[in-house]
Amino acid sequence: LKVGVLISGRGSNLQALLDAASDPSFPAEIVLVASNVPGVTGLERAEKASVATATVNHRDYENRVSFDTAITQTLEKAGVEFVCLAGFMRLVTKEFVEHWHNRMINIHPALLPLFPGLDTHQRALDEGCKLHGCTVHYVRHEMDSGPIVGQAAVPVLSDDTESSLAARVLTAEHKLYPECLRLIAEGKVTIEGNELISPVIFP
Ligand code: GRF
């Protein structure tokens, strides 16, 4: 499976995917890493792994549709069949979501359907959650929705700060994301409409 990863920054989840894909037995190949922000660390990570990179700066486009069209063209020129969003901080258009329907997943730092959107760790702390975690899901038009592929939970400790909790969740993300991509690439994940028919992945 030829995979493109979309990023906007640090790219630690990208790194986890690159590391997994560097094993010849991994069933997916990362053929392109594209960022909407120039010069980010994630692009350096891709270069180090000898993976092709592209920068498609949203500021160079008049609107979301033309930006998303450029992203799709860039991905398809590289032969991408499947898209992983990994800290890609742009809302995507309906057209983009439809184009990549059931061919695009995202990682979100919360146990969806709890805490869609931003500031998930602080919100989990504020709500007094004792468990928190991360979710890999297929992308649908409503933000942070779509069939859940896998989830990993971590405890919330009484002395946690936003950053200590975020770090614990991030470690779980780095296990969860490659595992979900692996099972998808092996054809072991099936969806019907908006439901996952195969078992949800708990790594
Ligand atoms: C991660 O927490 C991910 O869940 C969220 O954005 C963050 C990206 O981090 N969508 P990184 O760029 O992968 O290090």
The residue out of 100, 122, 157 marking a domain boundary is 100
Map residue 144 onto helix, strand or coil: coil
Residue bearing the CA closest to ligand 1, atom 10: 87
Q: How does pLDDT run across 34-85, given as a tens digit for each residue?
A: 999 999 999 999 999 999 999 999 999 999 999 999 999 999 999 999 999 9
Q: Which amino acid is at 34?
A: A
Residues 45, 124, single domain; the answer is no
CA of 87 to the centre of ligand 1 (A): 4
Instruction: Quickly state the pLDDT bin for 144 (edges 50, 70, 90).
Output: confident
The domain in which residue 78 lies consists of: 1-100
Atom of ligand 1 nearest to the CA of 16: 13
Q: What is the pTM of this model?
A: 0.97
Residue whose Cα lies nearest atom 14 of ligand 1: it is: 12
89 is in an annotated binding site: yes
Helix (H, G, I), strand (E, B) or coil at 48: helix
One domain for residues 63 and 91: yes
- Asked if 35 and 42 touch (Cβ cutoff 8 Å), the reply is yes
